[in-house]
Amino acid sequence: MLLSLDGLFRSDFEDGSLEQWVLSPHPLALLVLSKVLAHWVFSGLALVLLSPLLALMLGLPVRCLPVLMVSLLLGTPVLNLLGAVGAALTVGLKRGGLLLALLILPLYIPVLILGSGALQAALQGMPATGYLLWLGCLSVLAITLTPFAIAAGLKISVGE
């Protein structure tokens, strides 16, 4: 998912449509949220739907599949939105992929810890609801706050 984030806003930046987004009378945060949602549908949702098959191929018990699916369903939007913040900040740079990874990877760590903790708890027969609730909180927080951060980053990048 991190590899595709570098080009999330790049084509819009290069053809000038990103400037039109900024000048549009519509809220930029809403436009950005719709673009990130479309990106998540094609990258994150595909991962969520393919994960049970891949997990079974890797020997994960069937009883852990619901926890895996829910943790991915709650975690991938957060990863996508946080990555979009970094992509918005580095869209004007020629080779911003490495900087994007350096900016975003520390922010990915809590989501990865909570997702793997939920799956580990399910594997041990313990309840994973605490981990999933925290992932849900992060998801709600990311959906409400990151569109404004992405919009601010795009305004900064377009203004340069």
**pLDDT of amino acid 160:** 63
Segments of 2-148 assigned E as strands: none
**pLDDT of amino acid 148:** 97
Residue 73's pLDDT band (boundaries 50, 70, 90)? very high
Dist. CA 98–CA 95, nearest whole Å: 7
Structural domain that includes position 98:
2-159
- Determine the average pLDDT of the residues in 102-125: 95
Cβ density class 71-87: b for 16+ within 10 Å, e for less: bbbbbbbbbbbbbbbbb
Dist. CA 58–CA 119, nearest whole Å: 14
Identity (one letter) of the amino acid at 88?
A: A
What's the pTM?
0.91
| pLDDT tens by residue, 101-112 | 898 999 999 999
Q: How many domains does the chain have?
A: 1
Tokens linked to 39: 């990106």
Name the nearest CA neighbour of 104 among 88, 86, 116: 86
| pLDDT tens by residue, 19-63 | 999 999 999 999 999 999 999 999 989 999 999 999 999 999 999
**pLDDT of amino acid 145:** 97
- Determine the average pLDDT of the residues in 133-149: 97
152 alpha-carbon distance from chain centroid: 17
**pLDDT of amino acid 95:** 78
**pLDDT of amino acid 35:** 94
Identity (one letter) of the amino acid at 146?
A: T
Half-sphere exposure of 120 (CA within 13 A, CB side): 7
